[in-house]
Amino acid sequence: MATTGKIISFRLPPLPTIGEIIKLYKLRAEKQLSQNFLLDLRLTDKIVRQAGNLRNSCVCEVGPGPGGITRSILNAGIAKLLVVEKDTRFIPGLQLLAEAAPGKMCIVHGDILTYKMERAFPKQFQNEWEDGPPNVHIIGNLPFSVSTPLIIKWLENIANRNGPFVFGRTQMTLTFQKEVAERLTASTGSRQRSRLSVMAQYLCNVKSCFTIPGRACVPKPKVDVGVVHFTPLVGPQINQPFKLVEKVVRCVFSFRRKYCRRGVEILFPEIQRSQLTERMFCTADVDPTRRPTELTIPQFRSLCDAYSQLCNENQNLFTYNFREELRQKKLLRKEKIHIEGYETSES
Ligand code: SAM
């Protein structure tokens, strides 16, 4: 039989508005859970468009709440939608949407921080890492207190090609507090350049899409919201274990206004500090008087490679923790004062 080539697109049938759903199920936003909702479907459509062409794709929506973004995803021609929602109160409203889109939507009542996405979608949606991104997407507007730890967890999953990235280079479209979105996309030398910029950009192509003014959310949050799109890179820009990169970048940015030498120093125990710092900069061929914000990702790569070399020579080096040493010293000092005070009062 000849095909007409015509695509039959799915649209949700007429449904109560998001505002009506909120009233119907008494979904008052919990302030202490930083809940705020997007009611304007033109805005949720705009967020979903940032993910690219979703036709026949599998989408995981994180934190659907009353379902504004969920509706836009369902109207985008997807094959499967899985939503992960922690708050039980939203489940009946989401079930209403699932019934309106038969066979398309699956609801998980759970916490996205612990949910295992590896088995969420059929194997046929998997792509080789080196191929283009798979037809699997993550989209979500989560509370800011969840989206930041979550992106750090997912960046580690990208480095290890596990979690949602067993499907290949799964793309993500997520919202963040505007300042965090600016940090994620900040380029070398900019005021917002931070640990998050380097960690995200060494693994992904990170694109700032647009800003949602706080007033577009109900209730209005104190800050504006930034929509960010991530596409994992075929090859990471730093070829070292995630934990090693994270340690070097964290230490360097511990003193963001000082020369980067100051941050590198705390990678090493006091007794070898100046000697190993010297060696690390020499091997990496990086100027120690650069500020952390001025370092490019290739320079971070050289620093990480040099630190890895030093760790290979000294097996205990990687476990050295400056903050822990500081804490121990403080405890010892306190103990000493306590013992001295005791001895004085005894004598
Ligand atoms: N996406 C909806 C919207 O844009 O209107 C709701 C946004 S509201 C800021 C965040 C949603 O994420 C809430 O529904 C909340 O219950 C849910 N949520 C918070 N923490 C979560 C977690 N750890 N796992 C899954 N859902 C979570």
- Residues 238-264: pLDDT tens digits? 999 999 999 999 999 999 999 999 999
142 lines ligand 1 (CB under 6 A): yes
User: What is residue 343's predicted lDDT score, i.e. its pLDDT?
Assistant: 52
Task: Sort strands 105-109 and 80-85 into parallel, antiparallel or unpaired.
Answer: parallel
Burial of 344 (0-12, 13-18, 19+ CB in 10 A): exposed
Q: What angle do CA 260, 264, 267 make, to 5 degrees?
A: 160
36 lines ligand 1 (CB under 6 A): yes
Q: What is the SS3 assignment for 344?
A: helix
What is the C-alpha separation between 167 and 136, in angstroms, rounded? 7
69 lines ligand 1 (CB under 6 A): yes
Q: What is the pTM of this model?
A: 0.92
User: What is residue 2's predicted lDDT score, i.e. its pLDDT?
Assistant: 41
* pLDDT at residue 7 greater than cutoff 60: no
pLDDT digits (tens, 9 = 90+) for 299-329: 999 999 999 999 999 999 999 999 888 888 8
**CA of 167 relative to ligand 1 center, distance in Å:** 24
61 lines ligand 1 (CB under 6 A): no
Q: Which residues of 92-117 are buried (b: 16+ CB within 10 A; e: fewer)?
A: ebbeebbeebeebbebbeeebeebeb
Q: Which residues of 206-223 are buried (b: 16+ CB within 10 A; e: fewer)?
A: bebbeebebebbbeebee
For atom 22 of ligand 1, the residue with the nearest CA is: 111
**CA of 147 relative to ligand 1 center, distance in Å:** 10
Share of the chain above pLDDT 70, in %: 94
**CA of 63 relative to ligand 1 center, distance in Å:** 3
Assign residue 36 a region (left: φ > 0; alpha: ψ between -120 and 50; beta: otherwise): beta
* Top mutation candidate among 22, 85, 88, 139 for ligand 1, by most atoms within 8 Å of CB: 85
* pLDDT at residue 100 greater than cutoff 90: yes
Strands across the sheet containing 136-140: 105-109, 80-85, 58-62, 136-140, 171-177, 225-232, 204-212
**CA of 35 relative to ligand 1 center, distance in Å:** 7
Contact (CB, 8 A) for 159 and 205: no
- What separation, in Å, do the N-terminal and C-terminal C-alpha atoms of the chain show? 104
* pLDDT at residue 4 greater than cutoff 50: no
User: What is residue 328's predicted lDDT score, i.e. its pLDDT?
Assistant: 85
User: What is residue 335's predicted lDDT score, i.e. its pLDDT?
Assistant: 73
| Ligand 1 atom closest to 142 (CA) | 10
Q: Which two tokens stand for residue 161?
A: 């090609």
Q: Omega into 219 within 30° of 0, i.e. cis? A: yes
**CA of 312 relative to ligand 1 center, distance in Å:** 43
pLDDT (average), residues 173-197: 97
DSSP 222: S
For residue 346, what pLDDT band results from cuts at 50, 70 and 90?
A: very low
User: What is residue 332's predicted lDDT score, i.e. its pLDDT?
Assistant: 80
pLDDT (average), residues 31-52: 92
User: In the chain, what are the domains?
Assistant: 18-232 (3.40.50.150), 242-325 (1.10.8.100)
Q: Is pLDDT larger for residue 35 or for residue 187?
A: 187
Contact (CB, 8 A) for 226 and 208: yes
| Ligand 1 atom closest to 113 (CA) | 23
pLDDT (average), residues 20-41: 87
pLDDT digits (tens, 9 = 90+) for 264-294: 999 999 999 999 999 999 999 999 999 999 9
Q: Indicate the average pLDDT of the chain.
A: 93
The letter for the amino acid at 184 is L
For residue 337, what pLDDT band results from cuts at 50, 70 and 90?
A: low
pLDDT (average), residues 155-181: 98
DSSP 12: P
57 lines ligand 1 (CB under 6 A): no
* Rg of the chain, C-alpha, whole Å: 24
**CA of 220 relative to ligand 1 center, distance in Å:** 15
